[in-house]
Amino acid sequence: MRGKIPYIHIVLFVLTLFSTVIAGALQKGVDIFKEPYRLVEGIPFSLTLMLILLSHELSHYFASKLHRTKATLPYFIPAPSIIGTFGAFIKMKSPIVTRKALIDIGASGPIIGFGVSVVASVVGLMNSEVIVSSGEEYALSLGDSLLFAFLAKVVLGVTPEGYDILLHPIAFAGWIGLFVTSLNLLPIGQLDGGHIAFALFGNVHRFVSMALVIALAVLGFFIWTGWGLWAFLMIILGLRHPPVMYWETPLDPKRKFIGWLALTIFILTFIPAPFTLKT
């Protein structure tokens, strides 16, 4: 019997592809109504970001298949935002029954997406420019993770005082990919990082979740209000992780290494102040 054509997934993918092209063109200062032919300028950003999101979600999907866990194909979410999307997700349709499966399914997406994001960041930075600061009032500035700051110094050198890096669209997509990776790897609830933390630490995961939500709320109050909203969302979604059916099946050294690698990636990609307004 032939499988059903996943129309909803295809339509959402195409819509998100189109919305990210528009976002990429707007970032370049294109008036899409007066100059619709210039939409092609948004393609480098769009294709890079879509590749990052697709690699992340398909890694989850194939890891789920490997462990005979039912999962949907990726759902992409188009959005009228600066990046043209609210991301993508797959829906788990059956329980994850072992800690090995939790590690494989939880870590596969962020690790593969991280690798693609790093490559995009390096390629994009090689095509970025160091320019004199514009001095514009209320200019939006992107924060740096430990990793992105390191990559920028390696590729472009130390940025002199009074200068800024004008990111190429591919580099911006890479920055977003690293930021999204850190969000997914927060060891809270049933996020990817929550799956990994639960597999590694068991019921201690609940206390880790609560501590991190408090930390995000503090960051939201003092550094970036978005973290406060994220903390609230985590509380709404729930801080507990459902138990696995065969907890007694131990984690092998390889899975432990993958779990700790993923948490290390979280530290390297976390940005305390992702967006700041220069005045």
Summarize pLDDT for 185-223 with one digit per residue, the tens.
999 999 999 999 999 999 899 999 999 999 999 999 999
Query: In the 8-state DSSP scheme, what is residue 100?
Result: H
In-domain check, residue 2: no
Q: Which of 111, 82, 253 is nearest to 182 (CA)?
A: 111
In-domain check, residue 269: yes
* Residue 222 CB coordination number (10 Å): 12
**By CB neighbour count within 10 A (0-12 exposed, 13-18 middle, 19+ buried), where does 140 fall?**
exposed
The domain total for the chain is 1
Phi, psi dihedrals of residue 43, rounded to the nearest 5° = -65, -45
Query: In the 8-state DSSP scheme, what is residue 244?
Result: P
In-domain check, residue 266: yes
pLDDT at residue 247, as a whole number: 85
In-domain check, residue 43: yes
- Alpha carbon distance 208, 214 (integer Å): 10
Q: Say if residue 138's pLDDT is above 60.
A: no
Q: Are 39 and 25 in contact (CB under 8 A)?
A: yes
**Token pair for 260:** 């700790």
Q: Which of 226, 175, 141 is nearest to 52 (CA)?
A: 175
Cross-strand partners of 142: 275
pLDDT at residue 1, as a whole number: 42
Expressed as residue numbers, the domain containing 124 is: 7-278
Strand segments (E) across 39-157: 75-78, 85-89, 129-132, 139-142
Q: Residues of the chain with pLDDT > 90: what percent?
A: 85
158-181 b/e (C-beta count within 10 Å ≥ 16 → b): eeeeeebbebbbbbbbbbbbbbbb
- Alpha carbon distance 88, 70 (integer Å): 17
- Alpha carbon distance 179, 266 (integer Å): 9
Cross-strand partners of 78: 85
- Convert the pLDDT of each residue in 29-77 to its tens digit: 999 999 999 999 999 999 999 999 999 999 999 999 999 999 999 999 9
Torsion, Cα of 81, 83, 84, 88 (10° steps): -110
pLDDT at residue 229, as a whole number: 95
In-domain check, residue 36: yes
DSSP string, 116-133: HHHHHHHHHHHT-EEEE-
Cross-strand partners of 131: 164
Query: What mean pLDDT value characterizes the chain?
Result: 93
- pTM assigned to the model: 0.94
- Convert the pLDDT of each residue in 237-272 to its tens digit: 999 998 888 888 889 999 999 999 999 999 999 999
In-domain check, residue 1: no
